[in-house]
A and B are shown apart, each in its own frame.
Chain A
Amino acid sequence: MTSVGEVAAVVTSDTAAPEVRTMAAEAVGLSKVYGEGNTRVVALDRVDIGFEAQRMTAIMGPSGSGKSTLMHCMAGLDEVTDGEVRIGDTLISDLSDKELTLLRRKRLGFIFQSFNLVPTLTASENIELPLLLGGRQPDSAWEDRVIESLTLTDRLKHRPDELSGGQQQRVAVARALVSRPDIIFADEPTGNLDSRSGDEVLGFLRRAVDEWGQTVVMVTHDARAASYADVVVFLRDGQVVDRIENPTADLVIDRIRALEV
Chain B
Amino acid sequence: MRTVLRLTRRNLASNRLRFTLTTFAVLLGVSFVVSSFVLTDGLLKTFNNIVEDGNSEIDIEISARSDFAETASFERPIDEALLADVRAVEGVREAEPGAESTRIVPIKHDGQPVDPGLAPVLSFGWTGSDFSALTIEDGVGPSGANEFAMDFSSADRFGLVLGETYDMVGVDGPEPFTLVGTMRFGEENALAGAVLMSFTLDELQRLDDSEGLIGWIDIAVDDDADAAAVIDRLESVLPADIEAVTGAEVIAEDKDEFTVIIDIFGNILLGFGAVAVFVSAFIIYNTFNILLGQRVRQLALLRALGASGAQVRASSLLEALIVGVTASILGLGGGVLLALGLRGVMNSLGFSMPSIDIILSARTVIVALLVGVLITLLAAYSPAKRAATVPPVAAMRVGFRFGSGEGLRRTIIAIVLAALGIAGVGYGLFGGGDGGLVLLLVGLGAVLVFIAVAMFAPLFSSPSASFLGAPLEHIPGRKITGHIARENAARNNKRTASTAAGLMIGMALIAMATVTANSLKATVRASLGSTLIADFLVTAPNGGEMTDRVAGELAALPEFSDVSAVRYGAIRIGGDQKEVTGTDVTLLTSLLDVDVVEGDPAASAGAGTILLTEEVADTLAVTVGDQLVVDFAAAGPQTLTVGAIYRNEFLIGHYVIDLAAWDAYFASTSDNTVAVKAAPGVDLATAAAAFAPLEAAFPQLNFETQDEFSDRWEGALDSLLVIINVFLGLAIIIALLGIANTMALSVLERTREIGLMRAIGMTRRQTKGMIRLEAGVVSLFGAILGVLVGLVFGWVAVVAIPESIIDRLAIPTGTLVAYVVIATIAGLLAASLPARRASRLNVLDAISYE
Contact = CB atoms under 8 A, between A and B. Distances in A.
Interface of A: 72, 77-78, 97-98, 101-102, 104-106, 110, 112, 115-121, 125, 129-130, 132-135, 175
Given A77-B844, A125-B483, A133-B480, A97 B764 contact: yes
A115 B752 contact: yes
A118 B484 contact: yes
Contacts, number: 67
B761 A112 contact: no
A60 B844 CA distance: 20
B15 interface: no
A141 B761 CA distance: 23
Given A72-B844, A120-B491, A121-B487, A115 B761 contact: no
B759 A104 contact: yes
A120 B488 contact: yes
B844 A101 contact: no
B847 interface: yes
Contacts of B761: 101-102, 104-106, 129-130, 133-134
B365 interface: no
Q: Which of A104, A116, A125, A133 has the most chain B CB atoms closer than 10 A to its own CB?
A: A133
B760 A105 contact: yes
Interface string B228-269: 000000000000000000000000000000000000000000
Interface of B: 477, 479-481, 483-484, 487-488, 491, 752-753, 756-766, 843-844, 847
Nearest to A69: B844
A129 B763 contact: no
Nearest to B752: A115
Contacts of A129: 480, 757, 760-761
Contacts of B764: 97-98, 101
A54 B847 CA distance: 27
A77 B848 CA distance: 12
Contacts of B477: 135
Nearest to A176: B760
A132 B760 CA distance: 11
Nearest to B750: A119
B362 to A, nearest CB: 53
B760 A119 contact: no
B756 A115 contact: yes
A133 B844 contact: no
Top 4 A-B residue pairs of the complex, sorted by shortest distance between their CB atoms: A105-B761, A120-B487, A132-B480, A101-B763
29 contacts: A72-B844, A77-B759, A77-B843, A77-B844, A78-B844, A97-B764, A98-B764, A98-B765, A101-B764, A102-B761, A110-B759, A112-B756, A112-B847, A115-B752, A116-B756, A118-B756, A118-B757, A119-B753, A120-B484, A120-B491, A129-B480, A129-B761, A130-B760, A130-B761, A132-B479, A133-B480, A133-B760, A134-B761, A175-B760
A104 B763 CA distance: 10
A35 B480 CA distance: 38
Contacts of B760: 104-105, 110, 129-130, 133, 175
B397 to A, nearest CB: 15
B762 A101 contact: yes
Contacts of A77: 759, 843-844
Contacts of A125: 483
Nearest to A135: B477
A116 B760 CA distance: 10
Q: Which of B487, B758, B759, B761 has the most chain A CB atoms closer than 10 A to its own CB?
A: B761
Contacts of A132: 479-480
Contacts of B481: 133
A201 B844 CA distance: 23
Contacts of A135: 477, 479
Contacts of B763: 98, 101-102, 133
A135 B475 CA distance: 11
A46 B781 CA distance: 55
B312 to A, nearest CB: 28
A123 to B, nearest CB: 14
A24 B483 CA distance: 34
Q: Which of B753, B760, B762, B765 has the most chain A CB atoms closer than 10 A to its own CB?
A: B760
A183 to B, nearest CB: 14
